[in-house]
Chains A and B, each alone.
Chain A
C-alpha cells in the first residue's frame, strides 16, 4: 500500500492497479485453500501421522497394533460421539467421567451381588438416569450446563465412592463378566480378533451420526446451538432437545463404563477420571464449534484417533513420554488457531 502515499497523480495510479489485479485472485485462492484445510484439517493430520508412523516403525502397521488402538480408545470415542451432540447443541458435559465411574461400580456391585450379565446390561441405564438428571437440572434451573455438570461431576463421583465404600469391587471370579471388554470376534476374515468393544463403538457412533444428520432431533440440536431464540420461536421444544443431548451423553458414559469395568474386572470409583476433558479436547480438535451450531460426529472420532495415534507413535518410537502431553496440547492449540483464522475470514 506504500504506493498510495505517493503524491496525487490524478486518479488511480498504475502500480496500485497492477497490485490489485495481481493480488486479488491469489489472495482468494489462499483463502479457499485455508478454508479447505481448516475444514478437513483433522483428516489431513490423521493421514499424515498414519503415513509417517507406517514408515517410521515396522511395528505400527500391523493388524494387532491397529486393533489395539481402536480398542483402547473405544470408551473415549463413544463418549466423544455423544458429546458432539451436546456441544453442537450449545452445551458442555463435564460429568461424563463421573457417570462412567458410577455405572462401572454399579455394574460391578450388581455382578457380585445379583448377576454378572445383569450388571453390564444395567450400566447404560444408570448412565441414562444420570444424564437425565443433568438435563432436568440444567433446564429446570436455567443454569449453563458447564456449571451444572461441573457440580454434578462431584455428586456423581461421590455416589460412586459411596457404592464401593471407597474400595474396589473385584469381579475376577466371573469369566462372563469380562467378555464385553476382552472378547474378540472370531471367524470373520478381516475382522478376526477385533474386540467387541470396538463393535459397540462403531454401532453407537453410527447411531449418533444418524440421529444428528437424519432425524428431527439432530436438526433441532443444530438449531438450538445455532440460535436458541430463533429455535424457540420456530416451535422447537428446546428443553426436550437439550435434555435428550444429556441423556445420550449419559448413555454413552454408561456404555463406556460397562466396557471399562468388564475390561479390568474391577469396579473402581475413580474410573474415567480424565475422560470428560479428553472427549471435549477430541471434539474441538475435530473441528466442531465450541459455540454450538456446527460440527459432526465423524470429526470427533477423527479427533479421538488422531490423539490416539500420537500416543501410540510416541510409545513405539520410544520418545520421551513427558513430551507427548506437550505435543498433544500444541496440536489442539494449532487446530484452534486454524479455526480462528478461518472464522475471521468469513
Chain B
C-alpha cells in the first residue's frame, strides 16, 4: 500500500442539530483518484470541505502528508499542498486567465508587479495541454474552461491533492469529458484527486477507489473495479434499489389535440430554426450538447427572450410569446435551468414562492387573502410531498430535491396546459429524482404537454415519447427512444459536432 496523502480517524462534524459526519475513518492514498459518493446530505461534500480546510472538524485525528493537522483553513491547506475546486467557481470574472491563475502569488518587486506572468503560465499550460489563452477574460470562458483555470491555479500553487466538489454538475457531456481528461492527466502527474460527485457512472469511470457514504458515516471504501452502479446505489440507500425510471406514460392516441406547436422558431444567435410539436399527454425531449440552444429555445417559447421569426401555437391557436406574464396567462409554465438564479426567490417562504406566479387568484378586495393562499399552497405541498411541509420556512433552508418540488408546486399552481422543463433534476439526489420522474409522468398522464430538456440523456431517453436532436440552434432529427439507446444518441450528437469541425 502506498502511503496515505490524507488520513482521517474518528472525525466528527456537527451543524446545529445535524451530525454531518460521525466517526469517519478514511485514507486517501497518494496518486489516486478517490471518489466520495452518497446521497445529498450523506456527508460527502462536508468531508471534502474538511480535507480542504473550508470547514474545521469538531473532533478526530487528521494527518495530511504525514503531518498531524491542528487548526485548519483553506490557506493552511493550500500551504501544505491541498486545493479545493468548488461547485461554484471562485474565479475573478473580470481578470484574465493568467491573472486568475497567479492571483495572490504574483511575483512582485517593491510592491510593483514584476514582468509578465506569461512565461510561468505557458510552462503550466504546456504541461497540462489545456490550450487556454492566458489573456482571455475569465467571464468569457465556458464553465469547463473556467474549471481548467481553477486546476491550473491549484497547480501554480503546487497542490499535491485537489478536492473537486461536484465539478460536473454544471457541465454538459462534452465538457465533462474535457474535465475527465484533466483528471487522467493529473493522475499521470502523480497528483491525488478527491472527487465528490453523485454521478455514479463517471465515478466508476475515473476513480481507482470509491468511498460510499450514508448519513455521515463511511459505509465502505474499496476499489472502483469491485463496484457497479447498482452496488453503489444500494450502498448509498442502505437497501437494494436499482436506479430506475417509471414506465413512460402510454402514447396518446392519434387524435390527441396539439398542446404546443413550434414552427421554424428563431431567437437571437442561439436559436436558428426550431420546429417540433407536443400533443396533450405527450412528453417530448430535446437532446443536444451544451450550446445547441436547448435552454434558449424554451426561453423564447416562454417569452423570456424575444423571438425573431417563426410561429408558436398553443392548443391550436396562434400565440406571440412576448412576456412570461402573457405566457402564464395562456397556460404555459417553465421550470428554468437554474433553480437558484432563475427559479426560486431564496429569501422568501415556501408559501410566497409557490403562490408567486398565481398571486392574483388570492386577491380579495385588493389584498392578498392569506388563508386562500395558504390552503392552495398546502394542498400542493402535500401532493408533491415537500419535506418538511412547512409553508412559512424560508425556501433556502430546503434540500435541492425539495426546492425542486417547490418549483413544481409553483407551476402546478398555475394549472398549465404545457410545461417546459429545463434540467428538472439538476443537483437533486437519487431518491428525489425518482419522485420527480414519477411526477413528470403523472402530469403527462393527466393530459399536460411536456417539453423536457436535460443534460442527463438517460433521463430524456427514458421519459420521452419522442426526442428531437438539436444542434447549433436547429432541430435536426427525431429519434424514437424505444429503438435507440443513449450511446447512439451521444455518438450522433458528437458526430454532428465533428462534421461541422471538418
Interface set of A (CB-CB < 8 Å, partner B):
1-2, 4-5, 7-8, 10-13, 16-17, 19-20, 24, 28, 210, 214-216, 219-220, 222-223, 226-227, 229-237, 293-294
Contacts and interface: CB of A to CB of B under 8 A. Distances in A.
Interface residues of B, number: 46
Contacts of A237: 323, 325
Given A1-B71, A28-B16, A223 B61 contact: no
Given A215-B367, A216-B363, A5 B68 contact: yes
Interface in B311-329: 323-325, 327-329
* Chain A interface SS verdict (over half): helix
Interface in B7-38: 9-10, 12, 14, 16, 23
A17 B58 CA distance: 8
B336 interface: yes
Nearest to B72: A1
B300 interface: no
A283 B171 CA distance: 42
A344 to B, nearest CB: 14
B14 A20 contact: yes
Interface stretch (B44-52, B237-245, B343-351, B446-454): B343-351
Contact of A16 (B59, B334, B357, B366): B59
A8 B325 contact: no
Nearest to A5: B70
B359 interface: yes
A17 B59 contact: yes
B341 interface: yes
A306 B59 CA distance: 45
B356 A294 contact: no
B2 interface: no
Nearest to B339: A230
A22 B126 CA distance: 53
Contacts of A220: 359
Tell which of B14, B62, B360, B410 has the most Cβ of chain A within 10 Å: B14
30 contacts: A4-B62, A5-B70, A8-B9, A8-B68, A16-B58, A16-B60, A17-B59, A28-B16, A214-B368, A216-B359, A216-B368, A219-B352, A222-B347, A222-B348, A223-B348, A226-B348, A227-B345, A229-B342, A230-B344, A231-B356, A233-B302, A233-B304, A233-B324, A233-B343, A234-B328, A234-B410, A235-B323, A235-B328, A237-B323, A293-B347
Nearest to A7: B68
Nearest to B414: A235
B374 to A, nearest CB: 14
A233 B340 CA distance: 13
Contact of B10 (A12, A28, A222, A236): A12
B158 interface: no
Q: Which 8 A-B pairs have the closest CB atoms?
A: A16-B59, A12-B10, A226-B345, A235-B325, A235-B328, A5-B70, A234-B357, A11-B10
Contacts of B328: 234-235
A57 to B, nearest CB: 42
Contacts of B68: 4-5, 7-8
B166 interface: no
A231 B355 CA distance: 12
B343 A230 contact: yes
Nearest to A1: B71
B263 interface: no
A2 to B, nearest CB: 7
B367 A11 contact: no
B202 interface: no
A223 B347 CA distance: 9
Contacts of B363: 215-216
Contacts of B410: 234
A223 B368 contact: no
B58 to A, nearest CB: 5
A24 B304 CA distance: 47
Contacts of A12: 10, 12, 23, 59-60
Contact of A4 (B59, B334, B343, B345): B59
Contacts of B302: 233
Contact of A233 (B14, B334, B366, B368): B334
B145 interface: no
Nearest to B363: A216
B304 to A, nearest CB: 6
Given A8-B61, A214-B368, A235-B324, A1 B70 contact: yes
A2 B341 CA distance: 41
Contacts of B356: 219, 223, 231, 234, 236
Interface in B178-224: none
A11 B60 CA distance: 7
A231 B346 CA distance: 11
Nearest to B329: A235
Nearest to A291: B347
Given A1-B71, A216-B359, A230 B345 contact: yes
B345 to A, nearest CB: 4
Contacts of A8: 9, 61, 63, 68
Contacts of A28: 16
A237 B327 CA distance: 12
